[in-house]
Amino acid sequence: MGRRLTLTVFRHNPREASSRPGTRDYVLDETPGMTLFVALGRIRDEQDPGLNFDFVCRAGVCGSCAMLINGRPGLACRTLTAALPERISLFPLPGFELIGDLSVNTGKWMRAMSERLRAWLHDAGDADPDRLEAPMEPATAEAIYELERCIECGCCVAGCGTAQMRPDFVGAVGLNKIARFHLDPRDVRSDADFYEVVGDDSGVFGCMSLLGCQDVCPKGLSLQTQIAWLRRTLARQGW
């Protein structure tokens, strides 16, 4: 017989003047293979249709269902209830604008960060759709692809001590973007150019090396390696 789970869920709608932050307990029977996403869906269907949480892909690709699961950032769609105790606490990711309950506006934060870092390929000359694709070494392409696996879920920001103390910190997700374009041979920016973007305490030198970002990254990206590499590379520009 399956377990009976108690989910303590944060509830608050900042758009309603009468709403006050708090929690509510929901009880449901566990089923084989149940994920937190399935559990939340059952709660919304069977107990509380007003519960807010985000989902799109249900496959750990979109990152929209990220939340604090028993105090640790993670993806609801990839977290099995069987791996958790019978009492589970769910809170929204800290560091982002609250939309309601478990839903936060990571998209707004990610867009502002990308615009600030100018996180797009800076190619030489104007775009030419008829131009042949530039050749690239397979090893370089694979390294770039590895960094592109970031799904911008916000878990690394929520798990970062610096990001929680400094709202202007670009976080591991931003530094990963810079590392990706620094690695791309098609990008014409120099080390000095990248230093101007992240060569201060709001960038790579603000990282306290607690490595909470890498500990909670659902894609297992080597964020520690990218931050250390950027720090060594850009430190020369500040000498």
CA distances from 17 to 14, 21, 48, 51, 93 (A): 7, 11, 20, 17, 22
pLDDT at position 111 is 96
pLDDT at position 58 is 87
Claim to verify: residue 186 and residue 215 sit in the same structural domain? yes
pLDDT at position 125 is 74
Confidence check: pLDDT of 169 > 60: yes
Claim to verify: residue 122 and residue 233 sit in the same structural domain? yes
Angle at 21 between CA 15 and CA 25, to 5 degrees: 120
Final residue before a domain boundary, out of 50, 72, 103: 103
Q: Residue 127 belongs to what domain range?
A: 107-238
Confidence check: pLDDT of 126 > 80: no
Q: What is the pLDDT of residues 61-117, one digit of tens each?
A: 999 999 999 999 999 999 999 999 999 999 999 999 999 999 999 999 999 999 999
Confidence check: pLDDT of 1 > 70: no
Claim to verify: residue 40 and residue 55 sit in the same structural domain? yes
Claim to verify: residue 114 and residue 134 sit in the same structural domain? yes
pLDDT at position 239 is 53
Torsion angle defined by CA atoms of residues 183, 188, 190 and 193, in that order, rounded to the nearest 10 degrees: -110
Claim to verify: residue 137 and residue 94 sit in the same structural domain? no
| Count of structural domains within the chain | 2
Claim to verify: residue 90 and residue 116 sit in the same structural domain? no
Claim to verify: residue 98 and residue 117 sit in the same structural domain? no
Alpha-carbon span 92 to 104, nearest angstrom: 7
Could you tell me the CATH number of the domain that includes residue 171? 1.10.1060.10
Claim to verify: residue 85 and residue 150 sit in the same structural domain? no
Residue 65 per-residue DSSP state: T
Final residue before a domain boundary, out of 103, 125, 154: 103
Claim to verify: residue 87 and residue 115 sit in the same structural domain? no
Q: What is the pLDDT of residues 201-220, one digit of tens each?
A: 999 999 998 889 999 999 99
